[in-house]
Copies of this chain bind each other. A is one copy, B any other.
Amino acid sequence: MAFREKGILFILSGPSGVGKGTVCRALRKRGTSLKYSISVTTREPRKGEIDGVHYFFKSREEFKGMVQNNKLLEWAEYVGNFYGTPIDYVRETLDSGQDVILEIEVQGALQVKKRFDEGIFIFLAPPSLQELKKRITGRGTETASLIENRLTMAKSEIELMQHYDYVVENDEVQAACDRIEAIVTGEHCKVSRLIEKYKRFSEVD
């Protein structure tokens, strides 16, 4: 049987306001081979949202069952609804040889790290805390005390960077995408991932 490389799970994470969503959308536009993980949620589908495409929609009972049966890589509650990453979907996609990218908050990433250590953890960092403050303030939706909370949280999240493999500075969206694509390419060249392929190729000759 020919050697078939498995996909790699990339976890893109970082402080709130750093631009994870923007970077992910820009990556999608580039049409990379990365598959985007589909979350499970208990919230109601919005107009136009399709089950299995935008989300997997589940009842609270079903969601609890998934948590109890270790079917979620990570999960969290947000404004009264539950959100999580289904482990089966991720594993099946990786087994089919495709990479998966997961865009997620720092706390969620650390949950994933515990359960899926072979993932590649990328920390998206702001160029400076001043710049992060500007970005959060720029949204115009947060109060001064909320902004301060976020910055304090960002500082403590930066301290968790040591649990990650890579850090990508989001100074400019396209530059950040270039770095993420380079990381993906480089990870696929790791000897540890390819040694079996070359062992076989030496045998057959």
Identify the A interface with B (CB < 8 A): 122-123, 125, 128-130, 155, 158-159, 161-162, 164-168, 178-179, 181-183, 185-187, 189-191, 194-195, 198, 201-202, 205
Quick check: A128 and B205 within 8 Å, CB to CB? Answer: yes
**Contacts of A125 on B, CB cut-off 8 Å?**
198
Give which listed residue, B122, B158, B165, B190, contacts A202 with CB less than 8 A: B158
- Identical copies in the complex: 2
- 19 extra interface residue pairs, beta carbon distance < 8 Å, beyond A155-B202, A181-B182: A125-B198, A128-B205, A129-B205, A158-B202, A161-B195, A162-B195, A165-B191, A166-B186, A167-B189, A167-B190, A167-B191, A167-B195, A168-B189, A179-B186, A179-B189, A182-B183, A182-B185, A183-B185, A186-B187
Main secondary structure of the interface of A (DSSP, over half): helix
* A168–B195 CA distance with the chains assembled, in angstroms: 12
B191, A129: Cβ atoms closer than 8 Å? no
- Least distance between A34 CB and chain B CB atoms (Å): 14
Shortest Cβ distance from A79 into chain B, in angstroms?
A: 29
Contact between chains at A164 and B191 (CB < 8 Å): yes
Q: Tell me, rounded to whole Å, the shortest Cβ–Cβ distance linking A123 to chain B.
A: 7
Indicate which residue in B158, B159, B189 contacts A166 across the interface (CB closer than 8 Å): B189
Residues from chain B with a CB closer than 8 A to the CB of A191 are 123, 161-162, 164-167
User: In the assembled complex, which residues on chain B have CB atoms less than 8 Å from the CB atom of A168?
Assistant: 189
Q: Which single member of B128, B190, B202 contacts A201 (CB below 8 Å)?
A: B128
Q: Among the listed B129, B167, B182, which residue makes an inter-chain contact with A182, where contact means beta carbons less than 8 Å apart? A: B182
